Amino acid sequence: MQKYKALRIINYDSPALMEQEYQRRINDYCTYKTGISINPLQRGLRLSKSYEIFVVNNNELDMLQEKIEENTSKINSILSKLPVAAQERYFLKVLLDEIMSTNEIEGVLSTKREIEDAISTVTLKSHEHARFKGIANSYHSLFYKPFSPIKNVSDIRKIYDEMLAEEISESNMPDGEMFRTKEVYIHNNSLEILHRGNPDEASIVKGLQEFIEILNSEDYPYLIKIMVAHYYFEYIHPFYDGNGRIGRYITCKYMAAKLDSLTAISFSHMVNSFKKKYYEAFTETSEPNNRGEGTMLVFQMLKIVHQGQLKLMEELNGSIELLEKVNSLMSRMDFDSALEKEVLHMLCQSWVFRSTTIDIEIQKMLNITRFKFGKAMDGLINKGYAEKTKSRPSIHRISREFEKEIVDSK
């Protein structure tokens, strides 16, 4: 949107021209008026004057929405070329990246192993406790469970409890009926206030009711409304801690209902890649002289989604090429049993899609006993195709030598 200037930029040259441009934009027949208002922030304080959030659906924004929907069809087409098990492997890889990223954005320390363990407890339907199990289960459900809209504010508190209740310190837990009761401030490294959430629980509940209304409205283009809603949730800031993770999850949830699940579930990962632009888009919308315009915000958010799709397609196409090499190579190899070949193929899929699969998951997917799995694995290890990487839980992977053989094969 190089030619489309923010109102605050126009104001530098001429306040009168800015006022004229504001009236033109907000009254344009292509403009979507959301019916929700914000009080812009200046010098750390919310101004008393409020402005309705509006979005001008100009040509660039319209084209970007069209490209995103076209890419969803392309991603689904690429996925259809993969076996179901391989699709699941790639989904779990994207899920791992997503959880790592949404934690990193919020400064929550987490290791790859912790996230892998959390995902494993979810996929195996284990009752064992694992850190981040709640967030892993919530994201995992986007791929396997039908979409259910958020209908009331208690649904938001339920999402919070299921995702983050065990991750939030006691001092940061909500102290109201459902949400926080005291004011919160977001600071930068210089301790300047960048944002203030709604001041009390009553205003939070009112704001979240408006949030839900626009989220489920059929009066606006789908992608525009969920990005405006994403901003508004962070503007309300209903919790002391966890707002960013909850807000991005809800956005993923609604994106998954419209687009492909991989595009939706990679949202935080791409936000993390463009973190500066993400926060700049929020700041721009809260700038007083922009008078509630959300056009630049929506455009930047959708650009992040679009870039994520391009990365997904590049990765998927590269993975398919590698999997074709695996299939070609394995078709020329000798195995002691068909099971040996199946187990090795599962290990290869994990390697291709950079995901860790514990042995018990392979046993369940192939519906075999531990004894049969062990016998097949011993044969693969003796042939130099596989190696053990962990005992508890037991994990195997393809050997480094076999990796090189795959890469060098034609």
Looking at residue 109, its pLDDT comes to: 84
The residue extents of the domains of the chain are 7-312, 334-408
pLDDT, tens digit (0-9, with 9 covering 90-100), for 222-261:
999 999 999 999 999 999 999 999 999 999 999 999 999 8
pLDDT, average across residues 61-84: 93
Q: Is the dihedral of CA 250, 254, 255, 256 positive or negative?
A: positive
pLDDT exceeds 90 at position 186: no
Architecture of domain 334-408: Orthogonal Bundle (1.10)
- The full 3-state SS of the chain, as one line of letters, equals CCCCCCHHHHHHHCHHHHHHHHHHHHCCCCEEEEEEEECCEECCEECCCCEEEEEECCHHHHHHHHHHHHHHHHHHHHHCCCCHHHHHHHHHHHHHHHHHHHHHHCCCCCCHHHHHHHHHHHHCCCCCCCCCHHHHHHHHHHHHCCCCCCCCHHHHHHHHHHHHCCCCCHHHCCCCCCCCCCCCEEECCCCCEEEECCCCHHHHHHHHHHHHHHHCCCCCCHHHHHHHHHHHHHHHCCCCCCHHHHHHHHHHHHHHHHCCHHHHHCHHHHHHHCHHHHHHHHHHHCCHHHCCECHHHHHHHHHHHHHHHHHHHHHHHHHHHHHHHHHHHHHCCCCCCHHHHHHHHHHHHHHHCCCCCEHHHHHHHHCCCHHHHHHHHHHHHHCCCEEEEECCCCEEEECHHHHHHHHHCC
pLDDT, average across residues 199-216: 97
Across the strands, what pairs with 293? Answer: 54
Instruction: Give the residue from 354, 348, 311, 352 showing the smallest Cα distance to 333.
Output: 348
Looking at residue 108, its pLDDT comes to: 86
The rounded distance, in Å, linking the Cα atoms of 212 and 227 is 13
pLDDT, average across residues 328-333: 92
Q: Which residue has the tokens 């009254």?
A: 27
pLDDT exceeds 80 at position 44: no
Task: Give the least confident one: 49-53, 173-177, 279-283.
Answer: 279-283
Q: How many CB atoms lie within 10 A of CB 407?
A: 9
pLDDT exceeds 70 at position 147: yes
**Percent of the chain residues past pLDDT 70, beyond the cut:** 98
Looking at residue 1, its pLDDT comes to: 63
- Among left, alpha and beta (phi > 0; psi -120 to 50; other), residue 291 is left
Name the phi and psi angles at 88, rounded to 5.
-65, -40
Looking at residue 42, its pLDDT comes to: 85
| Domain 7-312 of CATH type 1.10.3290.10 | yes
Amino acid at 210: E
Looking at residue 12, its pLDDT comes to: 87
Amino acid at 377: M
pLDDT exceeds 70 at position 189: no
Q: Is the dihedral of CA 29, 35, 36, 37 positive or negative?
A: positive
**Tokens representing 377?**
């694995």
- Mean pLDDT computed over every residue of the chain: 91
